[in-house]
Amino acid sequence: MMSFSEIEIVSKRASKSKGYSWGISEEIGKSVRLLEMFNLPGISTLNQYLKKISSNHPKKLKNIDKTNKSDGEICPIYTGVSILDNCNQIQEFKVIKFFNMNYPLLIIPFLSRSSEIVNKQICLNLNDCKYILNSNKTILTNIEKSGDFENASELTIEFLENKNLFTDIEWKELYKMSEDTFVPETESLKNSAAGAGLTDND
């Protein structure tokens, strides 16, 4: 079995050989490593994508808008890097749509890392499959195993607002229970607390 370090290094070098800059290739290596760590087919998907663009390197989107279309197929890597670099600004869109994206599974790690930066869950809807990306720690999906999607005719990214799953009443009730562990303050505790007995000589 290949180590995650080997996966990252080989992915980075292979991407550089197909026309990506060293900086972008570094991001690709990290992203493929993350996909494999989450048990998603990172190596398989990158391998297929690099072979596809071998003779025709993809173009970058000029900007990320609420709705994104291109004359050709959209590159998931350039798009992912752009989202990662600008996630604090584009989260204001709430929902972002892309049309005709190549190998869209490759965008997932960039969104996962973005969710950690903005401190929000990000929902990705892709070919009737849903992924919830949570602060770069977990990926939840409604399918048993992700396939190597070659193309997404429509892909939607949604920045989810942070909400409590419990009611105010439930919180107050639980907090009331927690108060039973509080230790009443006494003179003895005051004298032994942090900083007690120190003298200010200034």
Domain boundaries, the chain: 4-159
> In this predicted model, what pLDDT tens digit does every residue of 170-197 receive, in sequence order?
999 999 999 988 876 666 656 665 555 5
**DSSP of 110-171:** HHHHHHHHHTS-EEEEETTEEEEEETTTEEEESSSS-----EEEEEEEEEPPP--SS-HHHH
- What is the model's pTM? 0.82
Task: Return d(Cα 36, Cα 33) in angstroms, integer.
Answer: 5
Instruction: State the average pLDDT over residues 111-117.
Output: 96
The yes-or-no verdict on residue 49 having pLDDT over 60 is yes
The yes-or-no verdict on residue 88 having pLDDT over 60 is yes
The yes-or-no verdict on residue 114 having pLDDT over 80 is yes
What pLDDT score does 142 carry? 75
> In this predicted model, what pLDDT tens digit does every residue of 6-48 receive, in sequence order?
999 999 999 999 999 999 999 999 999 999 999 899 999 999 9
What pLDDT score does 18 carry? 95
Tokens linked to 177: 């229970």
* Calculated CA dihedral for residues 80, 84, 90, 95, nearest 10 degrees: 50
What pLDDT score does 197 carry? 53
The yes-or-no verdict on residue 128 having pLDDT over 70 is yes
What pLDDT score does 201 carry? 53
Phi, psi of 74 (to 5 degrees): -85, 135
As to burial, measured by CB atoms within 10 angstroms (0-12 exposed, 13-18 middle, 19+ buried), residue 195 is: exposed
Task: Return d(Cα 21, Cα 32) in angstroms, integer.
Answer: 16
What pLDDT score does 187 carry? 66
